[in-house]
Copies of this chain bind each other. A is one copy, B any other.
Amino acid sequence: MVEKQLKDRIIETALTLFEKYGYHGVTVDRIVAECGASKGGFYHNFKSKDELLYHIHDVFITYVLNKAQEAYVKYKTPTKRLCAIIHSFVRVFHIYKPHITVFNQEAAYLKPAYAEKINAKREQYKQIIFQVLREGIEAKEFRSEISIELAGLSIIGMVNWMYKWYKPDGPMSIEQIATAFNDLILHSLLTEEAKRDEDISSFLLSHVGEE
């Protein structure tokens, strides 16, 4: 493989355009023109414009779901698991920012058959978060007063919302953002006992500067 295949070029170009102008703001003609391809080339690689949209969705959600599962398996305590999942989630923005923008912005336009597949994976992701929160409460690492569902959706919301403001060349690095998020989230979840546990609270910002 000396040079990039047409299919990849189409996806890459479409991604850049979709991110900027939205799915409906970009025509197939524009995509193929911008990447030096043709209508024929496009429809040879994709059944339809919808399939391209689905493909973009699937690449991202599959990747991020895998990462979350890996993090869950790799670590053994709720706090560590949650921090690792969030960290991997934030880190995805480094590679998949345009995918995530399209994912969060255009999912409503997926044809039912495609939407179903994507939603199944999206639901799986949510369940992993809920599961970790549940285990955290059981282990008395997280406060029992919180609503698992609400806390989970808050976490997903604050991270996903990054697609509205995160700029890869902005002043904050991915690592800084991930650390700050984990600090905020843990402060809102951890019990007082857990905060006193050196091993658990090592993820908190306030402990970084201590001496």
Given contact pairs A105-B105, A108-B25, A187-B187, A157 touches B146 in the complex (Cβ within 8 A):
no
Query: Is A145 a contact of B205 with CB atoms below 8 Å?
Result: yes
Residues of B within 8 A of A159 (CB): 157
Q: Interface SS of chain A: helix, strand, loop or mixed?
A: helix
A96 vs chain B, min Cβ distance (A): 18
Q: Number of A residues whose C-beta is below 8 Å from B? A: 39
**Taking the complex as formed, is A30 at the interface, i.e. its CB lies under 8 A from any CB of chain B?**
no
A61 vs chain B, min Cβ distance (A): 14
Cβ-defined partner of A161 (8 Å) among B24, B157, B165 = B157
Report the nearest B residue to A187, measured CB to CB: B188
Residues of B within 8 A of A151 (CB): 180, 184
Shortest Cβ-Cβ A-B pairs, 8 listed? A157-B161, A24-B24, A187-B188, A188-B188, A157-B158, A154-B158, A184-B188, A145-B205
Which residues in A have some Cβ–Cβ distance to B below 8 Å?
A: 21-22, 24-25, 105, 108-109, 143, 145-147, 149-151, 153-162, 164-165, 172, 177, 180-181, 183-185, 187-189, 205-206, 209
